[in-house]
Every structure is written in C-alpha cells, then in structure tokens.
Amino acid sequence: MDIIYLKALKIDTIIGIFDWERQIKQTVILDLEMATDIRQAASTDKIEDTLNYKAVAKRLMDFVQNSEFQLVETLAERISEIILTEFSVPWIRLQLNKPGAIRGAQEVGIIIERGKKPDNGQKF
C-alpha cells in the first residue's frame, strides 16, 4: 500500500472546553497519512485514478472551519470518519496539533490511526 500525505494543514475553528475558547477561533494543524494504491494513477497519469489530496484538504477545511467541538479527540475522530468513508481510504494516520493549548509547550495534540477492515483479507 502507498501513502499520500498532507502536512501542516492549518485550519481555524472553535475548539475547547473553556468559555473563552468558545468565543474565538483557534488554529489546529493537521498532518495526514492516507493509505492508497497509486499504481493505476501512475499508469494513466490521470487525477481521477488517485486520491485527490486537494479535494481532501478542501473537504476538511470546510468541515473543521464550521465545527465547534470541545475536544480534539472528537474532532480527530470525525475527520478520520470523513476520510475513510467519503474518500474510500482504507487506513489513515492523523496527527492533530492545537498550538498554544499549554503554556510552555510547543505542541499539544493527538495522534490516531483508523482503518477499514479489508474485504479481501489483505493487510493495509
């Protein structure tokens, strides 16, 4: 399996449990690794035959900008569900960073891996 990735996708959203966090938009940063098979696209040289990372980024930007979750855990889970279902990706690794969440820490966030169970017994 091959991996298409997006690194440091910055999106402003309402996220957090404190009252002040519910009043302002904060930046979250996404790093995504998405399993796919690029052989068909490499053979045809057509965007239709690959995972369109621009479409993924646009969908996630729209979703995250309009979300208002309290926990980064919930946001990460919803993002992974979108990618797995809407883009037919069998496996995703997502790192969600919420800069500035902890004074003195450069980065704070969560890393999750999610996947679909393969129909043909292959491992991802």
Domain containing residue 110: CATH number: 3.30.1130.10
The answer to the question of residue 83 being in a domain is: yes
**What residues are paired with 111 via a beta bridge?**
95
Active site residue 58: no
Of 46, 98, 117, 123, catalytic: 98
Q: Decide: 56 and 83 in contact? Cβ < 8 Å.
A: yes
The span from the CA of 41 to the CA of 14, in Å, is 37
Full pLDDT tens readout for the chain, 124 residues: 899 999 999 999 999 999 999 999 999 999 999 999 999 999 999 999 999 999 999 999 999 999 999 999 999 999 999 999 999 999 999 999 999 888 999 889 999 999 987 665 555 5
The answer to the question of residue 124 being in a domain is: no
Task: Label residue 113 exposed, middle or buried (CB < 10 Å: 0-12, 13-18, 19+).
Answer: exposed
Give the structural domain span for 54. 2-115
The answer to the question of residue 123 being in a domain is: no
Look-up: residue for tokens 């302002």? 24
The answer to the question of residue 74 being in a domain is: yes
What pLDDT, on the 0 to 100 scale, is given for residue 107?
87
